[in-house]
Each structure stands twice: as C-alpha cells, then as structure tokens.
Structure 1
C-alpha cells in the first residue's frame, strides 16, 4: 500500500475517532444535564499511575450538598477530606474493591462547609484499563440520604422512649389473643410471678389463675371477647413459680377495634401487700413495631415539542412495572396518580408550562402494579426554551419516598400510641430533657396537680413540682442524669398547684438516642399519699387492737376450711404458751383441750362448716407449760358463693374470771349461811320481844284504865263540891 493510501486510511480512522469523541462528549453532557436537576450529583475521578485520585468533574447538586465549588473541594483535599473520620474504614474498603475492578455501594457521613453531617449514598464503578491492567478511573453518583437517616433516628428514638417507659413500669402487662394465649408479656411478669417471659409465652393465659376463680375468669374473658371496647377490673389469686399464691388486681380491655393492638390487653399488679393495708392498685401497657427501607431514584426526560418522554428503567420497576421499550405514554402515568392528588400535581406541572415557574416539586401517591399506592416525590425543571420562550424540554427525577412516608406515619402512630397508652394509665407519666425541662406529661399528672398542659410543658420540673424543703433534689438528679446513673426506683414528694404535698414512688429510666447520647429521663410515678395515710391508720389501729388484746387477754384466729390451716394473733399464741411465729392448724389447736371440751369444740366446728352456725363456748384447756386454763372461744363462719370457706373468731383466757366466779360462789354460800344463822337469832329475839310487848301492852292498858278511873273520881269529887 502506497503512502497516499495509508494517509487516507489514517484520516478515515481519525474521523471515526473524532465522531466517537463527539458522541462521548454529547453523552457526557446529557448525563451531567440529567444529574443537574436532581438532589444528587455524579462524578468522574482519574486514578493516577501512583494510585492517587484526581477528581475530574462533578455534575448536579454537588455544591448545594457539600457547600464547596469543585475547585474549593479539590483544594481542601478532595473526597477523603470531606469524609467523617469514623467512616474512613468504609471508604478504604470501597477503594480496595474498586482497585480490584468491582463496583461499590455504601452509605457514608460527610461534613459540609457549615460543619454539618450529610449522609450520602455512593454508587461507584471502576474504569479499568486492560492494557495497563489497573484502575484508571472511577465514575459514579452520590445521593443525599440525610432526611431518610434523620427519619430513621427519630423513629428509633421514639421506639426507645416508648419501650423504656413500658419496660420500667412495675405492672405486668399481657396481650392475649382471642384464645387466651399470651402474645406479649412485659418484663414485670417475671418479677411478680417468678416465671420467665419464655415460660409464660408457652402457657395458657388462664393457667396461673387460682382454681376457685378460674371459671369466673373464663366467663369474664368470654364476655370481653364478644364486647369490643368493654373494660373490666378483676382481683385474682395468681400462682407464683415457687408454689404460693399472690393476690393481683388487673384491668382487662377488649381493644379489637384498635388496629394497632387487635387483642385483649390485661394489666395485673401484685396487690398482696396492698390488700393487707388498703386494697388499691392501677395498671396498663402497650407495644410497638416499626419498619423502614431504602428508596431508589428514577430519571425522566420530556421533549414537549414531540411530546416524547424518556425514563430510566427504575421509573417502571420501583412501582412494579416491567420496563417499556420506546417512549412511555405520559397520560397513562398521569392517570396512575391517586385521584385525591392528581389535581394538585396537574396544577404544579401547568405552572411551569405556563411560564409561572421554572421548576416544580410534589409528593403524591402513585398506583403500584400490585394495586396499592406508593408515595413518590417528583422534581421537574424547565431546562430548554425556544426563541419564543416556549418551554420545549424538561428533565426531572422521581424518588420512591414511600418508606419515608411510612416512617413518618409510623413515628406519628408510635407517638400517638405512646400518648394514648400514657393517657390511659392511672399513673403519672413524665419525660424530662437533659436540663430537667418537661417535654411530655399525661393528663393524669395534670389532673392530680391542677396545672394545665401549657403551664407544665417547657417548665422546669424541679422548680415547679418539688417542695421547697427538698432543695438538693434538682442538683442530685441532674448530675446523676448526665452520668446516666439515676436511681431506677425512688420515693419523692411533689407539690400541687394549690399547695398539697403528694407522696410519689417513681420508676425512672435514662433516655438515649441511637448514638447512646443521653437525651433526658422518663419516669412513671404512683401516687401513694392515700396509701401511706391508710398504712398509718392501720398501724395505729393495729397497735390499739394489740394493746386491747393484751389487756383483755383476747386474740383472734382464722383458718381455711379446705386446708384446716390458718393463723392466730400473738395473744392467742401467748395463751397457749407457744412461739407466735410457729405454724398453726386446727388439729394442733384442738390438742390443747381436755377430752370433754374437745368433743364440744369439734362438734361446734362441724356445725359451723356444714350448717353455717356460729358458736360461743367456754372450755377447759392445758397450755404448753401444763398450766390448766379456762378459755372462751367464739367462731363465725365466712361464706362465699354459698359455701363456708373459712372460720374466724376470738379466743380469750378467762381463767381469772372463772376463779373470781368460784370465789364469788363461795362468798355467796358463806353469806347465805350467815343470813340463816342471823335469821334464827332474830326469830328468837322476836319471840321474846313479842312476849315483852304483850306484858308492856297489858301494863299500859291497866294504866289507861286507872287513869280513866282517877279522872272519873276527880270529876265526881268536883261535882260534889259544887
């Protein structure tokens, strides 16, 4: 081949190469143009022979995300200098994969010009030279995912707050399906019953209830199951793992109409000690689950002159449709917008077409191939107009934000469920920030203290609620909170708006964000003011009763008819000369009576149980020290549901009374004999007196007769003299 032919061939190759370069530049310019209308950016980096990286160009929202121009970005050290130090290992791993001719996708924190952290998702692809057998370039795209990360963090924070509050409540909360099987149990269940959460979830919901109350409990459950929204309160004996029975008061409510629960919720609390003091309790609970996923992005290009519309494959697949060849039908996609959102979308698009704006953005629901609607965010920019300023071309992006919307909805629902839960429980619920300011409180606290929500939210809790005689509480609590070491359970008073002091038992928990930073504290409080007053009253009465029993040598006793076991007071044990802490039962108590008295008391007990008859007996017994005593015992049957379930009564040492009665009988007998003897003496005296009286009366009669005769003689003598 001659030189002219070779030159001609070379020119042809050069022209072909120039056409390819021009085509490549046009493609590159188109890629940059598409990226410039999104919230993301694309980049191209050259890899030098020594392995160093040289950023060639960026396109899109690079400057708005980083805050730097390309030149400033490169001058301060480029990509590596913008990465958060904690994420260097991720970048090192990505670069190693690229040097092995592998694409990468990662989420990394960057620091923008203002010093703020910007979360980005990086898609990087290697440009490999087979000739040089090394990486010669990197190209890819960067997506700003800060909003999504913030939504995830807020979601986690809300869930942590809710779980912290629920799991620190001292009541046991159980969610039952409509067969009575537990689907959720709170940690307090193990503390109260001794059974672990795993053990309880394998059991029937009724297996812990006392057999005597089981049938009624099942009836209540059936009634609730058939009456949505109905709430009832029960007091049951529950089986503890070690075999003893505990008294528990609970509230059951049918929440089938609550779409977040759809079950029967029971809230039980150990009231064994409280029944001894005052018989009072309150309790409630709820749970939460949230899910969040990443979202893809699609690009579209609309030529208004030809009304042709180009879209990437993700435009279809993110909504479950198969990618189409050629140009899609724009009208079909407009009709896939939810009817409630369509007018707003069309108005925004029209505002750009009519030259009112150069860009638009909206969030709307679009029809998925499965028939559901998913939230989409769309951004459109007018990028080309003709000489008459008529819009002829638009570029834009569509982002699937369904997960973000769901996350936002879940956060709102979570907060609503948390608020609903805290508003329903008859306990104080309050959340403080790190400085002790109130950021949440429930209506129970407002009703208890008399403050309004406006007065409470944002107020300094310690300045508003803590009595003046507790000046160190604020300092101690906040210092402990900042160290993350607050007491989980403590008793502190609060002062109401009208000056009343209320005693509160608090259950406290430190609130953290997803990075374990301390945000504040959440507290559940129980008002025990009335309970403490009841305790004081009961203790006072108990001391008075004990003193009365000692003075009267009388005590009380009680035993269950089923087990024939029971208890007696210290005074009853003292009468028997026994240790008050010792165990008592009916057979043991009967062993102290003599044979005749034992027959009497056994018959009386039998009649009390079978015929519901009370008894009052005076009996002989011998105590543990062989001292014989007279006692009086009174027994009264306790009837429940037509059956005598226990006997209770009093027991009194009347030995001194009996001795006094015997002494009195002897004294009466002696007095009676003395009366008889005196009567005989009086009878003798009376006989003599009667005789003397007769003599005296005869003498007196004679004297009267003599006086009469003398008077007659005197009268006769006077008559003769006259």
Structure 2
C-alpha cells in the first residue's frame, strides 16, 4: 500500500529506469515532470509534500513553485537528486513518510487534555521553529528556546524588546500582516527580523489569534529562519533564467511543432538564420514545407512511427530546403513536449551539409589510399606512447596475418605475431628507436596462425615528443617475402652449382629413399649433431632432427619431389636448439636420379632464417597520411616557419573561424585577432616558449571570428629545434571550445549549488591543488596554499584522519581509488561532513597523481544519521516497546509475534508463527477483534478499539494498521486501567462535589464574615456605649433605668442575630447527613399539614405536577426546608384580596431534575433587586413582617445539595423559582454497579 506522502519528481528525461525508481512508483504517490510544458497538467489536483529535483532535469523547482498549492499544514520540502541517484534520498523520504503518517494519525486520535498539554509544552520547548506568545498590540509575553537562539536574545530581552524591537522597522509588510490577522484571525507572511547583533535575516511567520482562559485575546507567532531557502530561491531564479535561454539563445537550431496540425509554433534565432526565414514566415510553415515533395511519403511514415514513441526520437539525417530552395542536409533529434497545452515535439536540427560533403571526400581519399596500400602491399601502424594505444591500417592486419575482429593491438599481442627467433631483434630495434630518436629500418618474419611465414621490411620514426620523451611513433611495413625467397633460392642454387665451399654457411644433407641420412656437411653437424649420443649422423632417420609437428609436411614434400625429379621444392622446417627453443630453417628439396634414371637420393640445402631484418619506414606514405589527417581534422591546423616568419593555415581555418587560409600569413596578423584582454598573456607565453627549451606550447584565449564574435579556443603547438636548441619551426592546431566553455561554466554553477569542489595531488612535484569551492568548504582564503600534510590535518583527529591517510596510502601504493565520507574541522573550527573521492592516475604502473572531488554533505549526512538512528530505534522497537505486537499476512498467517504478545496471550512464539490466527484463538472468532481486523484488511484504514477477551479474562487496547503484506497489530493489557478508571470516575465525581462545596462554602464564608462584621457590630457598639454611660453616677435613676432598657433591647437583637447565624451554620453542617429517597407527594403533604391553619386562613391553593418523578435522593431536612420556605413566601407575599395559588412541578432533563415553584403574588422588581435577592436580612416588601432569611436559607441549602436556583418575576404578576438538582446519588450507584461488573470485582 502506498504511503500518504505525495512526491513531485523533476526527473532527467534521459535517465534510465532503475530499482530506486521502481521503489518510488510502488511505495509513494508520485508524479513526474520531464519538460516545462508538463507542469500545469501534472499539478492538477495534486499538492506534493516533497519535490525531488534531479540536477540534470530540464525543469527546476523555481518553475513549479508558482503553480503549487501549498497549505499551511503541509510544509514543502525540496530534496536534490544527484545524477539520478535516488539511494541518497530514499531514507529521507521514508522518514518524512513516517512523520506525515504520524501527523495524520494524531489528528484522528483523541488525547486526554493533560497529555495534549504535555505534548504542546514539549513541542514549544523542542521546536526548531521560533514560537512567540504575544498581545495583539505587539507586547511579547513568552518566547521558546528556538526563538531565543534565532534572535540571539534571552526570553526576557525578547519580551522587553516587543514586536517593534525584533522586526525591521523598514519592513512595510508587517502592517499588512497585522491587518490581515485582525480581519481573518490569522496571517501568513514573510518578514525581516533583526538579531540582537543587528544582523537582519528573513523569516516565514504564521500568526493566529486565540482566547485564553479569561477570554482575553492572545496571539501566537511561529517564525522560521528562511535565510538558506532565500539563497536557494535566488540561485533557482538564476538557474531558471539560464535554462529559459537555452532554447532561444542556444547555438543549436531548435523549433517546436504541433503534432496534430504539424504547424510550427516556436523557433529560435539560430534556426531562422539556418533556414533563411523571418520569424513570422517560419511560424506560418508546417514541417511539410521544409521537405522536398518527393520526401513527403517518407515523412508521413516517420510521423506515424513518431506518434507511437514516448521518448527521444533520433538522431536521423534528412534533406531539408531553405527559403531560397537551397538543399540542406540536417541531423535531427526530437523530443515529446507539452507546449501551451498542445501536444508538440521539440526538434533539434544540426546543419551537417558541409560535414557530409567532407566525409564523402574523405571516404573517397581513404579508398584510394587503401587501394594503393593493397597494390604495394604496404601497411602503416602507429604507437601513442603517452596513452599506450595502437593504430593499424587494414593492410597491416593482412601483412601480420591476423583478423581485425579478434586482434587487440598491444605490445604483447604484436610480439606474439613476430617469429620467435626474431622477437629479440624486433624488441631491440624498438628500444633503439626510442632511446636514440633516429629513424631505423628492420627486417623480420611473421608467423601467421596458418603456419605461413612472411618476411616484412619495416621503417620507423618518432613524430612527436613530450618534453624529452618520445610521445608518438609511426611505422610503415612492406611484404618482402617474394624478394627473400628469390634470394634464398639464388643462394641455394649457387651452393649447388658453385661448390661446397660457398655453401658452408648453409646446411647440406642427402638421404636415401627410406629417409636415412647418407651425407651432412660440417654446418649441419655443428648445429644438430648434439641430437645423437654417439655423434654419428649417417644412417640415422632424418625425421629425428625435425620437430614432430612438421613430420607430415616433410613426408608429403618428399613424395612430391619423387614425382618430379630435378625440381626444387621449398619448405620451412622447425628444428630444436641445443639450449632450448626452436631454430627455423628454410630448405630446398631435390630428387636425384641414378644412371638408370631412377630416384636414388633426396638432396637438401637449407639456411637458418631465424635472424630478423629491421624495417625502414616509408616516408612517402607517412607524409601522405599526415596530409590526410590534416585535412580530416575539425581543428584549424597551423604551421609557422619561424625563420621565414610565414604562417600557414589548414582548410578548417575557414570553416571554423570564417577566414580564408591565405588571409593571415604572418604572426602579427594573428595577434591582432586575439582578444585585447588576452593578447599580452598569450603572446608573452609564446615568446617565452620560443626563447626557452620547451617542445610544447599551449594556451587558452578568445579569438575573433570573421563575423566579429569571439570564440573560446584551445591552441596547442609543437616547437621544432635544431641541434643547438634554436626554434626554427612550430606546428599546431586551434580548437574551438566555446560550447565546452559554456558547459564548464554551467558545470561550475552546478557544482557551486551542490557545493562540490575538486582537488589534484601531483606526486611528482608534491603539489596539492584545491578548487575555489574546496577552499570555501575548508573556510580558508583564496591565497591559501594547501600541502598534503596540512590538508590531511583538516580531518578530524582519530578515525577520520586515519581513514583518509590509509585511503591516500592505498591509492599511491596499490593504485586503489577511494570514496570516503568523513568529518573535517574547518579553519574556523566548524565540524563538517564531507565526501572525498580520489582516483589515482598511473604511468607505467606507478601512481603519479591523485585527482578527485570534494563535496560538502554536512546537511545530508546529518539527516542520514538521524534517519539511521531512527532506523536503529525502529529495529529494536518491536521487542523493546511495552506494547505487544504481531503481524498478519492477508490469509491470517502470523508472520511476527513479539515477546510481549507471547506473555500477554500466554502463547509462545514457536507455537503460533506461520499458523492461522483463528485456529490458535478460535474463541476470538466473531468478537470485536475479528471484526476490526477484517474491516481494516478490507478498507485499508487504521483502527483503534478496546475490547474484552474471554480467553485471557482481560481488557485490551488495540491499534490495527494496514501494511503491504497484511496487518500490523499493537495491543496492551488495560484491565488495571479499566478498574482504575471506575475508581478514578468515583474520585473525580467526589472531587467535583467537594470542589462545589468548597466554592459554596467560600462564598458563604464571605457573606458570613460580612454578617458578623455588620450585623453584630451595631448591637455590640450600642451595648458598649450604653455601658459607658452607666458608669457615670451623676445620671438620675430614671435615666439609668432607661439606659438599662436599651441595653437589654440590644442584647435581644444580638441574641436574635446569633440564633440566625447558628441556624445558618447548622444548615451547612447538616449537609453531611445521610441522603435518602424522598417521596415528593408525601413531603408536600407534610408541609401542608404543618401550615394547614395558614392555608385555610389565606385560602391558599397548592397544585402539584410531578409526572414520572415520584421520589428523589437527597437530604430530607434540606428539601423540606426549601419547599417550606418557598411555599410560605408565596403565601406571605400574596396580592391583597387575591387568594394565593401555588403551582409546584417537576421534570427530568438529561441527568437533572428541575423543580419549579410558581405563584400569583406581588412579584419582585428584579431590575433593581436582582443582586440582593438571596442576600441575608434583605426584604423587598416592608409592609409585611419578615426577617429576610428565607430566600437566603433556600439558596444556601440548594447549593449545599449541589444544585442551583433561579428566579423569574414581574411586579404584580407573580414569581417563579426554579431549582435544578442532579440525580447524583442514583447515577453514582448505577455507575458503581456497572463498573463492578466490568472489572469482575
């Protein structure tokens, strides 16, 4: 199953499919873009989390960002891919996928408030983004550690600075963001912040408004430092502009046509110039208009083939025509593109007319040359000593008797072609040529696989030097076998006819008709007598001195001789040498007749032909080949006669730069074409080379073309000197490297983006070179000169430094390349991860230099390490987590079972692995476990549930996740938690009740304190004042008695107040009384009975409507007092001359019982008396006797029962008191019974 992670892959269109591509397609929701025209369609209804950007892709992130719909929840990540290598990013994608799945999962799960609060606190403290809590006016209340690090301030300093102290005052975006937040409640923008040091940096800010617990508006601001992202965006803008210009400013002709209408829809200037049209004229053409009429049928067939192709088509060569009808030979490559919502193809066409004509002429010349070589039997071969490579002409393969398809030229294979006895002389001749540097000549034999021996005459010379060492050797070879055979025959004839003395340097033998020796000369005995132990040759078989593999050939030749007496037959025979090896000899066999004309003997004359003749190179053929190479090369060849000051140019001078070869025949005229900024440097280096001893000269510079443009060129030359070392001639070539230079510049930019540098360590000069990027990574200046020892010292001491030392040592001593990821400590003390790749360069098997690349991979490596740590944690998670875990295949086979699962379900791993789950746990079939597992397997959605399993008599919390193989199940035993939950609910309810009691008690205490300070103070003060007066004995007795009367009156008032307060305190104490079930009708009847005289006297009517509420659980004394006071109040405050009617009703709503007392009395002015309604000693009808305690006691007792009371009243219309009580006791008892049954207690 694919993960939730959505990926947009900006892929290189030329990249090949690999295993990592298949993983992306299988595991992730991915869309690919190859060309800019595909962006719009690819991003329809698609919002990616990640953008993968191949550094070779035609589309950059900058081109797709404006089209992307990026939400605030999904933060876009851009990951670079180097040269299609997805291995580096797959771990990052897996990590991002896990984070995304976790985030999406957390949205679905309900977490307890305390856990969420802890999580938010953790996020606040550990977030990498800065988080600020502020007032809407900009006052900062709090800042997390990330914000402090970002701003380089403490939290106190940030709060003191406020919003205006951390935002750049010149940033006008702030005002707009604040207005948006006021309007929408949130804002998202980019601002410029200022650090404590004064450094400004860009941030991405997300701010929203929320209400705190007191209902006050607060704001949160999440800030992210986007300095690096801004740098990348700036680089992407530059890259985007560069790639956009590739089409219009490319030196290659490009045009685009609609695949349906064949209409040309766009074209670059180079194509317009090549075809001779204006832009408007060209865009009015179809691709049919560029072809000749007779080519249209072939074009239509090609278009049918192209319509079935989805990739690159070509290259192919076709005949086009210009506007004036001139034929144009072009080489075309086509690419499928979407252009302005049209199905199109991008066509690159190169004018190869001149190239084709040139190749035709070259082939004709090459054919003539080959024919001449075949007629003369002359071959040519050359050896490039600097690269140890060989070139052989077709005739050379024939001369050496080898097949071109199987023969791989090398010194070893060439030596093997040479006859064994001529190999030493052949090798010595080559050594002499290299060491002495003079032309030489040599004759040698070659032995073909068929056994044929040829004589070759070879001449050789050195044509180029590298310093004092030969660089290239060329040779000509000629078949002289016929000449040698003639000489050999002549020698044999002379030995036969001019006497035995002349032939002593050759071998002379005779054999009888049975093949036994009858004669041998001294030369033969000297070379082959050792074969016979008695040193007697006469009478011994002649085959005994011949190698066995030549026996049959000799026998057949003798038979031919017998059939043709007097005729000489020639044969080459191998014979053994005394000290080992083979001696090759050439023999003439002649059959001699006796006097009767019958064959009597075989006479043989032979010669040792093991010695080789050195070959002499054919200078004429060498010059011819040089001329052909000069004409064939694409470089501009030049030849400068220093003594005559004349300068000669090859034909390519015109095709490359537009000048006729005869235009610039002096060095001064050439100098005028150099770019002014390069002229002094180039002429100075040339003068120094001529005056010095160098044999080579090389320079890069800008050269002015005929059309006025400057081309980047590479100029190489060889300087010829006389015996005194004076330069008399220089020959070389100029190569146009403009395109190469552009590509190098692009490569340098790409390397800078990827932070890739280079290095080169020359072991000969012991010099170490670092590129600018390599110095930047090491954080050293441009003038820093690295050395191999100082360079290694940058690597972190310990295993990192040891590894690079060992890698360099192996490269030097064993020619072993290396690719290491190591840590360095920069010149500024920063630790960085780098990737260093080194490739040894060898010469004659010895390492002479090490070249390579140096890349900053610190961010990537640190991300990899985080992923690896996560992977290690994941690896041990299944066994180390507290949860039990098992995995199921789609057929319910158990594929994994951890130790915790084995313990909780009392089922060992070996019992259940690879077994069907329902066979092992049949009592789970049909339960919530099976139902949830099957549902998850069907709809592939995660499930979380809690269920009781009879098999283990336990409760389990289960999380089920779909996987690519089936299901992953995490579960844990929550039986203790279930039991604890029941107790926790009991404690929670009790705590809430106590809390309400405390709140109520607190409010009562406040009022009680007020009563004590107010109601008691007045009588006590009066008593104290009167007592002071009684102490004055001067008052008459009558006055004193009156004072005593006032004292007693105040004492009675004080006693009344104390009695009332005692009643209030007693009411608060009585709440602890045991609650009981109370029948409401019986309660009303008891109250009616106690006040029946008042009811009768006032003609009061009490109506009751309790519905299905017959009884409630409460404190009876409280409920009696509440009902009694409300009924008495309704009767007491009746309207004059109107019989009081009291309606008492009860109803149930949710978990509450609502009791209403409605009367038709005087009513209360709530507009003015609302706040004093339930206050002690407050009365609202002073014409009626009362103390103002009734309603206070009612409210106090209702609150002590955990309820509340409200009033609705209008003057002269009546009053309604509503009491709301919770059926707490009944509910609690029912919950306890349920919990006990669940827990099994």
Shorter-chain TM range is 0.3 to 0.5
Higher RCO, 1 or 2 (CA under 8 Å, sep at least 6)?
A: 1
TM-score, length basis structure 2: 0.22
Structure whose CA Rg is larger:
2
TM-score (norm 1): 0.35
